[in-house]
Amino acid sequence: ESLKRQESTDPLDPYSGEPSRHPALQINSLKPFNAEPPASVLADSYITPSAIFFKRNHLPVPKVDPETYRLEIEGLPSGVVSVTLSELKSRFPKRTITATLQCAGNRRSEMNKVKQVKGLNWGIAAISNATWSGASLREVLLHYGFTPEVAINAKHIQFEGLDKDVTGAAYGASIPLNKALSEEGDVLLAYEMNGEDLPPDHGYPVRVVVPGVVGARNVKWLGRIVVSHEESKSHWQQNDYKGFSPGTDWDTVDFKSAPAIQELPIQSAITHPAEGSSVERGDEEVTIKGYAWSGGGREVVRVDVSVDGGNTWHVAKLYSSDLGQNPAPGRAWAWKLWEIDVPLPDGAQELEIVCKAVDNSYNTQPDTVGPIWNLRGVLSNAWHRVKVKVKDDQK
Amino acid sequence: ESLKRQESTDPLDPYSGEPSRHPALQINSLKPFNAEPPASVLADSYITPSAIFFKRNHLPVPKVDPETYRLEIEGLPSGVVSVTLSELKSRFPKRTITATLQCAGNRRSEMNKVKQVKGLNWGIAAISNATWSGASLREVLLHYGFTPEVAINAKHIQFEGLDKDVTGAAYGASIPLNKALSEEGDVLLAYEMNGEDLPPDHGYPVRVVVPGVVGARNVKWLGRIVVSHEESKSHWQQNDYKGFSPGTDWDTVDFKSAPAIQELPIQSAITHPAEGSSVERGDEEVTIKGYAWSGGGREVVRVDVSVDGGNTWHVAKLYSSDLGQNPAPGRAWAWKLWEIDVPLPDGAQELEIVCKAVDNSYNTQPDTVGPIWNLRGVLSNAWHRVKVKVKDDQK
Ligand SMILES: [Mo]
Ligand SMILES: [Mo]
C-alpha cells in the first residue's frame, strides 16, 4: 500500500491514492470524485455495470486492508463489538438484493436552470441499479445483543465511514432504527456489488446498503455503527441533504426545521432520445426510453409519456429484471426501465417529450421545477422534459 | 328492530332503516348515503366530530344486533372462527389510534371541471380525522392461529361487510397481508370512534380501520375476514378504486393493468378562505387555513402556500393533536392542520391562493389536475387553488 501511494504524483495530496475510473464517466468533480454515466447508456442494462455506476464520494477514497479491517458496533448492552471481515462473511448468511441508489442531487442541473443552487451539477444519471450481497444489518444487531429493551432508548442507527477530511472527521449518516430492525427493511452490510468484491469507489470492503433510502445514508467504507438515541451529528445529516420551500434562501434557512432526507420521492427520466437530437418525419414514430424508481420500497406501477409537452399521454411498457419476479409489497427496491413508441403528431416541427411516473402509493411527479426548487438543489423530480426536432425527409 | 323498520315510510325500500344525519352535511347521494361536512368547518377541530365526519356508504346501512353479531374469520389452520362482540372486547387489549380517513374520490369535483368523470362529485371534505379504538387485527389473527406457515400461501386479508346489495352480495375489499400482520401497521377491528360506540353510518358494531390506506378498504359493519392467497374478488377491489393514465378512457381501460389503491398520495387543501369570497385591502394580510395528510403513515413535514398562483411561496405553521406527540416513523396516521397569514401583494385585485404539501418521503403534490385526470376521478391531489377578491376599502 505504501509503495502504491508513493508512486502517485503528489504524496501530500489526500487524493493521491484514488482508483482508476472508467473513461466514459462524466465527471462533476475530481477531488472528491463525483461522476455519472452517460445518460444514453444508463438504461441499456437493467443492472448497471459497477464501472459506470454513478460515483458520489464526499472525501478521498480510503485504502482499507481487508486483513486488519474491523467494523465496530457501539450502543449495545454488550459494549463495543469489533467484527472482522471474515467474521462478517462467515457468521451471517449472505443476503442478496437488487437495489437502486440515487443521489439526493440527481437532476440538480435542472434546478440550476431555474436559479443557481449549491452543489454538484448532476444530470439525470446520478442513479444506478446493482445487486448487493452481504450480512443483514438486522441479523448482525440481533446477534450482538440488540433486544427490545435497547429499542426503548435507541431511535437511530448511525454509520461512520473510514473516509476522513483533513481534520480527521469521518463521513457520517444515520437512519431510523425501525428501518434497520425491520425484517422487511432489507438493510445490508454489503461486501459484494454485482457478484464481486465492492470496488474501492463503492466502499470496499464493506458499505451499508439502505434500499429505498437516499444514497447519502448508504455509507461506504463502513467503520463504525452506533445504536443511538440521536441522529448522526454529521454535517451531512444535520446541515445538508434536507428539503426546503422555494422561498427559503441561505439567509433564512433553518436546517433544524426540516427532516433529514431518508426515503426519496417518485422519480423518472428520459434517457433516449437526447435533448437537441432529431427524428425523421418519415419514421412516423419516435422510440422513447428511460428509467423510473421510487423510494421506500414503493413500486413504480406506471410511466406516462407525452410528446406534446403534457397535453396528451401514452402509457409506456415497464421492464424489470430478467427473472420477472414481483417484489414483495413495500420491498420494490429496484428501478424499472421503460420504453414506448409514440406516433409523431401531424405537422409537428418539434417534440417536447415528457415523462412522469406513478408508484403504488399513487404518488406522482410534480409538473414543473420552479415550485420544488430549493437552495440545496436536492429532490429534483419534476417531469423530465426533452426537446427533439422533427426533420422533414429529404426530397 | 322490526318495529323501527315498520315505522319508516316504505318498508320495501332497502334504505328505509337509515339513521338520522346531521343537517350541516352536504349530501352527494341519499341512497346510498354519501355526504361531506362543509369545508369551512372541516379544519375547526383536529378531531372531526363523528356527526359531521364524512359518510361514504356503498349500500344501505345494515342494522346489526350486537347480541347476535358474529365476526367470522376464515383461512386459518383452525378452520372458521366465530367471534362475538364481547369476546372481541374482552379477549384483546383495547388499542387506540388517531387516524385520518380519506375517500379515493375526495376532490373529484376538480377533475369533473377538466372533463367529466364517473363518480360522486366530492368537494374537498371527503376526508376526516377521528380516534378509533378496538382490537388489533394482528393480535386477533395471531390469537386464532395465524402462523408463519400460513404466510407462505396467504398474501391478502379480505374483509366483507354486512351491507348487501339487492342480489345479496356484500361490500368487500382486501389489504396486503404484511400491512395486517406488521406490528407497525396498526390495523384495528374498531368498535369505538371518538370514545363512543361506532355510529351506524361508520360501521356499528365493528369496522376495520386500516390507517394510511384509502377509505374503501376500511370496511364497515365487518362480518367476515378471510386470510387468502388472493385479493378480494369484489367489484370495488377489482374494477373500481384504481388509478389510470389521463389517456385511458372507458373503451380502452383494463382494470387488471392497475393495482388496487391502498396507500394514498400526499394531499392538502384550503378550507379558508372560500372560493369567491373577498378580503379587505386594509387588512394588509389574509389568513389561510387548511389540512394536509399523506398515506402510508408518511408524516406531513411542510405546507407551502402561495397567494400569487404559485410564483412565490410561504411556509405555513402546522398543527397536530393537542398532546403534541411525535408519531413514530412510518406511523403518522393523522392529518395536520395548517394556518398562515400572508401579506397582500401590492395592488393585487384578485388572489389565487394555492397550497401544496410535502411528506417525509419528500413526495409532493402535482401542479395541475389535467395530467392526473383519470376516468374514475380518484386520487385528485393537485395543488388546491382558491380565488379570492381583494376589495378596496370604502373611502
Ligand atoms: Mo448524494
Ligand atoms: Mo371511497
pLDDT at A326: 79
Three-state DSSP state, B89: helix
Is A367 within 8 Å of B366 when comparing Cβ atoms?
yes
Res. B322: pLDDT tops 80: no
- Asked if A352 and A367 touch (Cβ cutoff 8 Å), the reply is no
C-alpha B253/C-alpha A356 separation (Å) is: 19
Residue B260 CA: distances (Å) to CA of A108, A360, B201, B365: 34, 9, 24, 20
Rg of chain A on CA atoms, in Å:
22
Interval A319-331: pLDDT, tens:
997 565 678 889 9
Is A363 within 8 Å of B361 when comparing Cβ atoms?
yes
Candidates A364, A372, A374, A380, partner chain B, best to mutate (most B CBs within 10 A): A364
Which residues, at least 6 apart from A35, have a Cβ–Cβ distance to it below 8 Å? A21, A25, A26, A27, A28, A29, A54, A55
Predicted structure pTM score: 0.95
> Regarding predicted confidence, which is higher, B324 or B243?
B243
The mean-pLDDT minimum among A15-29, B6-20, B95-109, B135-149 falls in B6-20
Interface of A with B in 174-233 (CB under 8 A): 176, 178-179, 182, 184
pLDDT at B7: 43
Task: Calculate mean pLDDT across residues A146-167.
Answer: 94
pLDDT at B395: 55
> Regarding predicted confidence, which is higher, A13 or A129?
A129
Three-state DSSP state, B137: helix
C-alpha A36/C-alpha A122 separation (Å) is: 8
Task: Calculate mean pLDDT across residues B176-186.
Answer: 96
Q: Which of B243, B212, B182, B185 is nearest to B360 (CA)?
A: B212
C-alpha A156/C-alpha A46 separation (Å) is: 32
C-alpha A128/C-alpha A193 separation (Å) is: 12
User: Which range among A389-393, B62-66, B151-155 has the greatest average pLDDT?
Assistant: B62-66
Q: Which of A305, A378, A373 is nearest to A342 (CA)?
A: A305
Interval B260-302: pLDDT, tens:
999 999 999 999 999 999 999 999 999 999 999 999 999 999 9
B211 Cα to the center of ligand 2, angstroms: 14
C-alpha A393/C-alpha A181 separation (Å) is: 60
C-alpha B261/C-alpha B243 separation (Å) is: 7
- Which set of grid coordinates corresponds to residue A143? 446477534
Residue that the C-alpha cell 371541471 belongs to: B113
Q: How confident is the model at residue A229 (pLDDT cuts 50, 70, 90)?
A: very high
Percent of chain A topping pLDDT 90:
92
Cα of first residue to Cα of last residue in chain A, in angstroms, is 65
Number of Cβ pairs closer than 8 Å across A and B?
118
Ligand nearest to the CA of B236: 2
B340 Cα to the center of ligand 2, angstroms: 30
A87: exposed, middle or buried (C-beta count within 10 Å: 0-12, 13-18, 19+)?
A: middle
pLDDT at A321: 79
pLDDT at A327: 86
Three-state DSSP state, A330: coil
Nearest CA in chain B to A382: B366
Three-state DSSP state, B55: strand
Interval B250-263: pLDDT, tens:
999 999 999 999 99
Interface confidence: ipTM more than 0.90: yes
C-alpha A56/C-alpha A28 separation (Å) is: 10
Backbone angles phi, psi at A353, to 5 degrees: -85, 135
Is A364 within 8 Å of B368 when comparing Cβ atoms?
no
pLDDT at A3: 35
Which residues, at least 6 apart from B265, have a Cβ–Cβ distance to it below 8 Å? A361, A362, A363, A364, B294, B295, B363, B365, B379, B381
C-alpha B282/C-alpha A50 separation (Å) is: 63
Kindly state whether A263 is in contact with chain B, defined as any CB-CB distance less than 8 angstroms: yes
Instruction: Quote the strand ranges of B20-142, DSSP E.
Output: 26-29, 34-36, 55-56, 70-74, 81-84, 95-102, 127-136
Beta bridge partners of B209: B188
The mean-pLDDT minimum among B6-10, B213-217, B313-317 falls in B6-10
Is B295 within 8 Å of A184 when comparing Cβ atoms?
no
Nearest CA in chain A to B265: A363
Distance from CA of B230 to the nearest CA of A (A): 14
Q: What is the DSSP letter of A118?
A: S
Cα of first residue to Cα of last residue in chain B, in angstroms, is 65
Which residues, at least 6 apart from A152, have a Cβ–Cβ distance to it below 8 Å? none
C-alpha A5/C-alpha A21 separation (Å) is: 17
pLDDT at A324: 59
Percent of chain B topping pLDDT 90:
92
Three-state DSSP state, B32: coil
Residue A233 CA: distances (Å) to CA of A160, A177, A222, A265: 11, 16, 16, 24
Residues of chain B in contact with residue A371, where contact means CB-CB under 8 angstroms, are: 304, 310, 313, 356, 367
Q: Which of B319, B320, B314 is nearest to B341 (CA)?
A: B314
Kindly state whether A38 is in contact with chain B, defined as any CB-CB distance less than 8 angstroms: no
Three-state DSSP state, A82: strand
- Asked if B49 and B43 touch (Cβ cutoff 8 Å), the reply is no
Res. A9: pLDDT tops 70: no
Across all residues in chain A, what is the average pLDDT?
A: 95
Interval B341-386: pLDDT, tens:
999 999 999 999 999 999 999 999 999 999 999 999 999 999 999 9
